[in-house]
């Protein structure tokens, strides 16, 4: 965590910068916020939150995604994972990180919390009441043509929604629409496996997938409104990039073309030069 980021942290929250993480053992991440990109004033951010009980069985995870635009893809910019943060301990961390990466008039990044089980509900309740956090993802019903919006907050993982979540994330990763910086998340992604009979993917036995699920939720929340509206930012970005490369290629070809106006050259010399440019 660098000094420019720490300048934005309120006094009394106990954050401090660490030297090169390579100096620590493999558990140096535990209960620490890893920052890969500082907040940008004009960027939009989403936090994916997967709460756990804080007893070591599963991890409480926050993944922060910078939402992509026509110039660059989505990117993971920060990560928090802890074996010992329960839902009530996690809520203040979520609120702090969400406000550090805040956007819009309220100065809060959108937060999407997995609500299955008691931990998600407890974390959401604390965010709303104790932390007074307002920018929370609203659950939608994606398989109906009307009344998509509901009054429920958070993400609900079901046999129907889990494959959709994974499919969207897989598509983003293989098409370079989502940049990952955390070696720990990459390690979990390597262990993530598909079960063809259950039509889902999950971590291999004895391994974790909490970072993966938090990241998938963040990516979903970053784009679900535009997907529902029929907007495809990644496709538009690729189209603009391709158009830019084509323009560059055309300029490069044009720069190689000889200009004959006001040039002392005979007709035969001009034709010979054209043949040389065309066939060599």
Tell whether the model's pLDDT for residue 194 goes beyond 80. no
- Average per-residue pLDDT for the chain: 79
0.85 exceeded by the pTM?
no
Report the alpha-carbon distance of residue 224 to residue 222 in Å, rounded: 6
Is the torsion defined by CA of 250, 256, 257, 262 positive or negative? positive
Token pair for 44: 């939009």
The percent of residues above 70 in pLDDT, for the chain, comes to: 66
Ranked by mean pLDDT, the top range of 61-70, 221-230, 265-274 is 61-70
Tell whether the model's pLDDT for residue 68 goes beyond 60. yes
pLDDT digits (tens, 9 = 90+) for 103-143: 655 689 999 999 887 788 899 999 999 999 999 999 887 77
Give the per-residue pLDDT at 67: 94
Tell whether the model's pLDDT for residue 261 goes beyond 60. no
**Closest by CA position to 14, among listed 69, 131, 103, 92:** 92
The better pLDDT of the pair 33, 249 is held by 33
How confident is residue 205, by pLDDT bands cut at 50, 70 and 90? Answer: very low
Give the per-residue pLDDT at 146: 67
Query: Phi-psi bin for 147: left (phi > 0), alpha (psi -120 to 50), beta?
Result: left
Give the per-residue pLDDT at 198: 35
pLDDT digits (tens, 9 = 90+) for 17-56: 666 655 555 567 788 899 999 999 889 999 999 998 767 6
pLDDT digits (tens, 9 = 90+) for 71-113: 889 999 999 999 889 999 999 999 999 999 986 556 899 999 9
Give the per-residue pLDDT at 56: 63
Domain layout of the chain by residue ranges: 3-231, 238-279
Report the alpha-carbon distance of residue 245 to residue 247 in Å, rounded: 5
Select the CATH number that applies to the domain covering 3-231 from these four: 3.30.420.240, 3.90.1580.10, 3.40.50.11740, 3.40.50.1370. Answer: 3.30.420.240
pLDDT digits (tens, 9 = 90+) for 158-189: 888 888 899 899 889 988 899 999 988 988 88
Tell whether the model's pLDDT for residue 193 goes beyond 80. no
Per-residue CA distances from 58 to 34, 68, 120, 139 (Å): 19, 30, 13, 24
Q: Tell me the angle at which helices 210-228 and 161-174 cross, rounded to the nearest 10 degrees.
A: 90
Tell whether the model's pLDDT for residue 1 goes beyond 60. no
């Amino acid at each position: 965590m660098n000094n420019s980021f720490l300048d934005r942290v309120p006094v009394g929250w106990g954050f401090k910068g660490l030297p090169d993480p390579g100096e620590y053992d493999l558990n140096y991440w535990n209960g620490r916020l890893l920052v890969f990109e500082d907040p940008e004033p004009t960027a939009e951010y989403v936090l994916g939150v997967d709460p756990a009980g804080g007893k070591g069985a599963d991890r409480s995870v926050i993944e922060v995604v910078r939402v992509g635009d026509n110039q660059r893809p989505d990117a993971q910019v920060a990560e928090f994972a802890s074996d010992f943060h329960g839902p009530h301990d996690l809520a203040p961390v979520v609120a702090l990180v969400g406000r550090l990466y805040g956007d819009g008039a309220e100065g809060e990044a959108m937060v999407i919390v997995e609500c299955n089980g008691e931990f998600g509900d407890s974390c959401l309740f604390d965010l709303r009441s104790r932390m007074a956090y307002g920018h929370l993802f609203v659950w939608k019903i994606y398989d109906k043509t009307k009344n998509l919006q509901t009054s429920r907050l958070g993400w609900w993982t079901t046999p129907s929604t889990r494959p959709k979540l994974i499919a969207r994330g897989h598509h983003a990763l293989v098409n370079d629409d989502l940049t990952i910086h955390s070696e720990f998340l990459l390690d979990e992604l390597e262990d993530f496996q598909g079960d063809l009979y259950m039509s889902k993917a999950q971590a291999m036995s004895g391994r974790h997938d909490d970072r993966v699920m938090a990241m998938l939720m963040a990516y979903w929340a970053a784009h679900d409104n535009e997907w529902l509206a029929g907007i495809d930012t990644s496709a538009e970005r690729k189209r603009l990039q391709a158009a830019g490369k084509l323009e560059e290629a055309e300029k490069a070809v044009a720069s190689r073309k000889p200009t004959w106006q006001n040039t002392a050259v005979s007709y035969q010399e001009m034709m010979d030069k054209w043949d040389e440019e065309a066939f060599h």
